[in-house]
Amino acid sequence: MRPIEKYRVGTVLTMDDGTSHVVMDEYMPYGAAKPVLCHNFGCGCVYCEAVYPYERDLHVEHILPKDPKLGYSHLEFKWDNFLLGCATCNGTDNKGNTVALPGDCHFPHLNNTFLSLRYDAGGVVTVNPMLAGLSRTKAQTLLTLVGLDKTPRTSSPGDRRCMKRKETWDLACRYRNKYLHGCLDIDCLIDFIRLRGYWSIWFTVFEGIDEVRKRMIYDFPGTDATCFDATTGYSPVERNPGMIDPV
């Protein structure tokens, strides 16, 4: 899961249409924040990393739920409580029934979530086995919360995320070979990754090809470059060093 850097309240932006915008503390209705979130992160889900051609296909995702029965309705319109999610990640059964506090769960704007999770052949997502203690617990909470551990057997009807990851893994392996054999230039490759989505799969498959990994960090909006070490092939590093949970 790509670690992202979220705009702070008061940040002055030039939007895609050339207009200026100052990031506000509150957006009423909260849907008004969607263009700003897309400008910040790109038009894709920050959890599963699927991309969408239209903003209308994405949701302003509330980190803490807006349901008054759960006690966080006062945060319904707060910028600090927003992320950008697809309908599937935003509507998982676990997410609808669970309050995951940032202190109890890894989130892509607070933690190095590429270090939290591991992407393996076939697009299988698991907790990074190198993590231990609180870091491992919080990474598992994230994985379960948005259902990225679901398989074709355990997914609900319409949830094709695991299938899309598998398709993308296979594509990424083929494109890696094409790139290494000089059949594909880096600009076309980056353009294709933008269109296809699933950043973490491409970043994993292209391990050892530093020029591609560098472009994926700096060419994709909102990626937190401090979460990667250029001297070690852009491997993930701790985002919160010295903390109880350094991830």
**Tens-level pLDDT at each residue, the chain (247 residues):** 999 999 999 999 999 999 999 999 999 999 999 999 999 999 999 999 999 999 999 999 999 988 778 888 899 999 999 999 999 998 865 555 567 888 899 999 999 999 999 999 999 999 999 999 999 999 999 999 999 999 888 888 889 999 999 999 999 999 999 999 999 999 999 999 999 999 999 999 999 999 999 999 999 999 999 999 999 999 999 999 999 999 9
Q: Is the peptide bond before 29 cis (omega within 30 degrees of 0)?
A: yes
Nearest alpha carbon to residue 39 among 6, 68, 74:
6
What separation, in Å, do the N-terminal and C-terminal C-alpha atoms of the chain show? 13
d(CA 3, CA 142): 13
Q: Is the separation of the CB atoms in 134 and 244 below 8 Å?
A: yes
Q: Is the separation of the CB atoms in 149 and 162 below 8 Å?
A: no
Q: Is the separation of the CB atoms in 145 and 95 below 8 Å?
A: yes
How many other C-beta atoms lie within 10 A of the C-beta of residue 57? Answer: 14
